[in-house]
Amino acid sequence: MGKFYITTPIYYPSANLHIGHAYTTVAADALARFHRLRGDDTWFLTGTDEHGQKMEQAARAAGKEPLEFVDGIVAGIRELWRVLDITYDDFIRTTEPRHQKVIGDIFTRLWQKGDIYLGRYEGWYCTGCEAYYTETQAKDIGYHCPDHDKPLERVGEDAYFFRLSAYAGRLREHIERNPEFVQPPSRRQEMLSFIDQGLEDLCVSRSSFRWGIPVPFAPGHVVYVWIDALCNYISALGYPDGERYRRYWPADVHLVGKEILRFHTIIWPIILMALGEPLPRRVFGHGWLVLESGKMSKTRGNVVDPLVLVERYGLDAVRYFLLREIPFGADGYYSEEALVRRTNSDLANDLGNLVHRSLSMLKRFAGGRVPAPARREPVDDEIPALAGEVVESFASSMEDLQISTALAEVWRLVGRLNKYIDEAAPWALRRAGDERVNTVLYQMAEGIRLLSVLLKPVLVRSAPLMWESVGAPRPFTEVTWEDTRWGLLPPGSPVKVGEPLFPRRELGGALVTTPHAAGPEDKPGAGPAREAATARPAGQAEAGKVEQDRGIRVAEAGEGEEGLVSIDAFRRLDLRVARVTGAERVPGADRLLRLRIDLGGEEREIVAGIAEHYRPEEVVGRSVVVITNLQPARIRGIESRGMLLAAQEGGRLVLVTTDGDIPAGARVT
Ligand code: MSP
């Protein structure tokens, strides 16, 4: 157990934040939550960077005073963090007195030491970037800022300067001696070369605008951007003598976008050196989310609003996508299609199915209580072994800030558990009266419990539901890293089968309704099912109610705007070849046959409305096609778990069968 202090950049409240800002903050949140889970004394700081000419101009354009203007946007930012469930411990605003006081003191101190001196600045300035361009840079871009599409201004004024140049040698040495300091490692050389080009002293005050922290000893000057902004990381802790400062400084990670990595690995450490304070352990510059249409910017009107995405796809999907899709450190394309793809494949298919099928088997085969493990086979031991391995590598990737890799590790276990269920076939074990079924069921439940602990930092809505679904004992809020040990779930824990955690989504957020996700009650008065052209499920002869319960609605709900069924909706149907092993008439129902079918290791009963067309002995031994993943329906007191396909024309009905020999259980696609 140690301490962990993590920060995000403080964001400019000149406009509402977009998905790019959410990316940094969600990543910092996941890391903070991970360290709390580890038992580290964790402090997570975020905030807003509220001064400067740009802000003054934005306020003026909105017809407001600067503070009044930023207050409104800051409220929106806090609301965004609430929706994204960001667990920051402190939110610093650079307009707060606690910050202003520290900045005034730091500025005076550096001046008294001789690290800040009065000079004159002249240069090419972009008010959008709040940055001067050197003569060469300005010439290269034709004296016109490409990011803000406005001409650079020639600015000259008296200004204070910070002696960066005096510290270049010490900084270089620090970066060389501390390979962890600049992250990812690929950016280290870039920073060293930057130092080697020669550091110029930095202009740290301005007298051409008012919206800033006054320089205490120089009326008319305000502290200019980087000293004000960077020192938030210590002012918020109560530098120089606050209890929190002693407890948490130096920072363990400053998480920033790559475009401001340089300020954090050059200017910031030099400020700290000049103050005689320890340097942060790591500064991590992550890549950008870019759109097919280029960089996200308000002027281009292509910003993606995270609130809309959460509304459409749910919080966990958005958090998971951001953290999993792009290797942390690299740039990556953002698109809503990619979000939907990722959500459906990893969350709905892999994790969601694992949870749902496990819970329903625990319910059906073990009466809804986690059984005690019994007879084992060597393959059963592979699961705890893999879980141990995954826990280790997940932790070390998270320590190394490789969040996407850490999640990929977790999905190794998800994938293995799904395969384990397919191979161990608990339904067959149960039928054979093999007590190993209890071992397999126990491991399925324990797998879900353990996954919920690992996913606690990321899937903040569904991890607690997973934990509760297998009846794990303590409240989820009390979960610690100790809970990643395999085998802690007590046999006898009650299982709760709820709604699927991750329904499949269409682009735009509509649900791809599954038989589990929507019953008729979701759509009162839904009309009758459309007749499919040639093949239609047979066996609904008895009741329209049964029709609705059993899958016709799958197609209905998956219909696109033109009445077409989406490929996703179709793929949700699990169509299988089944061998009919027994058939008999249902007493009192002229049209129904009760069939026993073999699905390649699993036996089921279904009730089909084919008795007017087939005698029982005619169907036994035939290969038929069955939809296997419908909700079971009770027909004449018999539980029917599946539906036959048959083709119908006029008064004729024939079974859909296969052209050639193929084993029972084969998938029909
Ligand atoms: N106020 C400064 C930071 C001062 S820190 C002492 C600032 N603010 S900002 O509002 O422009 O936010 C910049 C940060 O937002 C980036 O460093 C990055 O973390 C995040 N991102 C903004 N757009 C982004 C993308 N398109 N993609 C990924 N992250 C992005 O700079």
Residue of the CA atom closest to atom 26 of ligand 1: 20
Q: 324-351, pLDDT tens digit by residue?
A: 999 999 999 999 999 999 999 999 999 9
Ligand 1, atom 7: nearest CA belongs to which residue?
A: 11
Residue 210 CA to residue 66 CA, distance in Å, equals: 10
Model pLDDT, residue 600: 86
Whether pLDDT at 518 is above 50: no
- Give the residue whose CA is nearest to atom 30 of ligand 1: 20
Is the CB of residue 667 less than 8 Å from the CB of residue 603?
no
Per-residue pLDDT averaged across 403-428, rounded? 97
Report the 10 Å Cβ neighbour count for 127.
18
For the chain, the farthest-separated pair of C-alpha atoms sits apart, in whole angstroms, at: 102
Q: How far is the CA of 402 from the centre of ligand 1 (A)?
A: 19
Give the pLDDT confidence score for residue 113 in this predicted structure.
97
Q: Which of 426-430, 454-458, 520-524, 661-665 has the lowest mean pLDDT?
A: 520-524
Atom of ligand 1 nearest to the CA of 233: 6
CA-proximal residue: ligand 1, atom 20 (nearest): 21
pLDDT exceeds cutoff 90 at 169: yes
Whether 289 is in the pocket of ligand 1, judged by its Cβ within 6 Å, is yes
Identify any residues that bridge with 660 across adjacent strands, giving them in sequence order.
none
Q: What's the rounded mean pLDDT across residues 1-5?
A: 93
Atom of ligand 1 nearest to the CA of 255: 19
What is residue 536's predicted lDDT score, i.e. its pLDDT? Answer: 30
Distance (Å) from CA 259 to ligand 1 centroid:
8
The model's pLDDT over 552-606, given as tens digits with 9 standing for 90+, comes to 222 222 323 344 666 767 877 889 999 999 999 998 888 899 999 999 888 899 9
pLDDT band for position 430 (cuts 50, 70, 90): very high
Residues 6+ away with beta carbon under 8 Å from 403: 27, 30, 31, 323, 324, 328, 397
Q: How far is the CA of 258 from the centre of ligand 1 (A)?
A: 9
- The backbone torsions φ and ψ at residue 232, rounded to the nearest 5 degrees and listed phi first, read -60, -30
Residue 154: strand pairing partners:
124
Distance 132 CA to ligand 1 centre (A): 19
What average pLDDT does this structure show over 651-662?
86
40 close to 3: Cβ distance less than 8 angstroms: yes
Give catalytic residue positions: 18, 21, 126, 129, 145, 148, 295, 298
For ligand 1, say whether the CB of 257 is within 6 Å of any of its atoms: yes
Contact 134, 271 (CB under 8 A): no
Length of the chain: 669
Q: Which ligand 1 atom sits nearest the alpha carbon of residue 12? A: 10
CB 552 within 8 A of CB 523: no
Task: Tell me how far CA of residue 666 lies from CA of 73, 575, 623, in angstroms.
Answer: 57, 9, 11
Give me the residue label for tokens 């990381």. Answer: 233
The Å distance, Cα 430 to ligand 1 centre, comes to: 56
Task: Give tens-digit pLDDT for 56-80.
Answer: 989 999 999 999 999 999 999 999 9
631 in Cβ contact with 356 (< 8 Å): no
**Cβ-Cβ contacts under 8 Å for 55 (sequence gap 6 or more):** 12, 13, 14, 66, 69, 70, 211
Using one digit for the tens of pLDDT, what is the confidence trace for 229-251? Answer: 999 999 999 999 999 999 999 99
**pLDDT score, position 513:** 53
- Per-residue pLDDT band at 122 (split at 50, 70, 90): confident
What is the model's pLDDT at position 565?
67
pLDDT for 564 equals 65
Q: Is the pLDDT of residue 533 over 50?
A: no
The token pair that represents 40 in the structure block? 């580290």
Share of the chain above pLDDT 90, in %: 72
Provide the pLDDT confidence category of residue 545 given band limits of 50, 70 and 90.
very low
Report which of residues 122 and 97 the model is more confident about: 97
Q: What is the pLDDT of residue 343?
A: 95
Q: Specify the DSSP element, H or E, that contains 552.
A: helix 552-557
Type of residue at 535? A
**Whether the CB of 115 sits within 6 Å of ligand 1:** no
Percent of the chain scored above 70 by pLDDT? 92
Q: Is the CB of 11 under 6 A from ligand 1?
A: yes
Whether 260 is in the pocket of ligand 1, judged by its Cβ within 6 Å, is: yes
Q: How many other CB atoms sit within 10 Å of the CB of residue 363?
A: 14
Quick one: which atom of ligand 1 is closest to the CA of 226? Answer: 6
pLDDT beyond 80 at 51 = yes
Task: Tell me the pLDDT band of 549, cut-offs 50, 70 and 90.
Answer: very low
Distance 21 CA to ligand 1 centre (A): 6
For ligand 1, say whether the CB of 271 is within 6 Å of any of its atoms: no
CA distance linking residue 211 with residue 114, whole number of Å: 26
Check if 10 has its Cβ closer than 6 Å to any atom of ligand 1. yes
DSSP string, 413-453: HHHHHHHHHHHH-HHHHHHTT-THHHHHHHHHHHHHHHHHH
For ligand 1, atom 13: residue with the closest CA: 11
Under DSSP, the state recorded for 538 is E
Closest CA to 487 of 367, 586, 388, 619: 388
pLDDT(529) > 70: no
Say whether pLDDT at 262 is over 80.
yes
Rounded to a whole number of angstroms, the CA Rg of the chain reads: 32
Mean pLDDT of the chain: 89
* C-beta 47 within 6 A of ligand 1: no
Least confident stretch, 37-51, 96-110, 151-165, 645-659:
645-659
What's the CA-to-centroid distance between 182 and ligand 1, angstroms? 17
Which is nearest to 394 in space by CA: 454, 453, 446? 454
Pocket of ligand 1 contains residue 49 by CB under 6 Å: yes
Take residue 179 and report the two structure tokens written for it.
């390979």
Confidence of residue 123 (pLDDT cuts 50, 70, 90): confident
Residue to probe by mutation, ligand 1, list 19, 24, 261, most atoms within 8 Å of CB: 24
Report the atom number in ligand 1 closest to the C-alpha of 290.
26
The protein residue whose alpha carbon is closest to atom 10 in ligand 1 is 11
21 lines ligand 1 (CB under 6 A): yes
Q: For 193, list phi and psi in degrees, rounded to 5.
A: -65, -35
Gap from CA of 75 to ligand 1 centroid (Å): 18
Q: Counting atoms of ligand 1 from 1, which one is nearest the CA of 17?
A: 10
* pLDDT, position 54: 84
Quick one: pLDDT at residue 555?
25
CA 409/CA 458 separation, integer angstroms: 14
Cis before 240 (ω within 30): yes
Q: Running DSSP on this structure, what letter comes out for residue 294?
A: B
Q: Is the CB of 391 under 6 A from ligand 1?
A: no
Residue 494 CA to residue 638 CA, distance in Å, equals: 27
Distances (CA, A) of 621 to 576, 582, 601: 16, 8, 16
Between strands 222-223 and 205-206, the pairing is: antiparallel
Closest residue by CA, ligand 1 atom 16: 257
pTM summary value: 0.77
Ligand 1 centre and the CA of 272: distance in Å? 22
Q: Is 256 in the pocket of ligand 1 (CB under 6 A)?
A: yes
> Residue 566 has what pLDDT?
66
Amino acid identity of 471? G
Q: What is the pLDDT of residue 373?
A: 98
pLDDT in tens, 341-385: 999 999 999 999 999 999 999 999 999 999 999 999 999 999 999
Please work out, in degrees rounded to the nearest 5, the angle formed at the alpha carbon of residue 217 by the alpha carbons of 211 and 221.
Answer: 30
> Would you state the pLDDT for residue 515?
39
One-character DSSP codes across 239-260 = TTT-HHHHHHPSPSEEEEEGGG
DSSP conformational letter for 636: T
SS (H, E, C) 393-417: HHHHHHHCCCHHHHHHHHHHHHHHH
Render pLDDT for 605-632 as a digit per residue (tens, 0 to 9). 999 999 988 899 888 888 999 999 888 8
Q: At what angle do helices 168-177 and 188-196 cross, to 10 degrees?
A: 160
Q: How far is the CA of 52 from the centre of ligand 1 (A)?
A: 16
Instruction: Give the closest residue (by CA) to ligand 1 atom 5.
Output: 9
Cα separation of 150 and 145, whole Å? Answer: 5
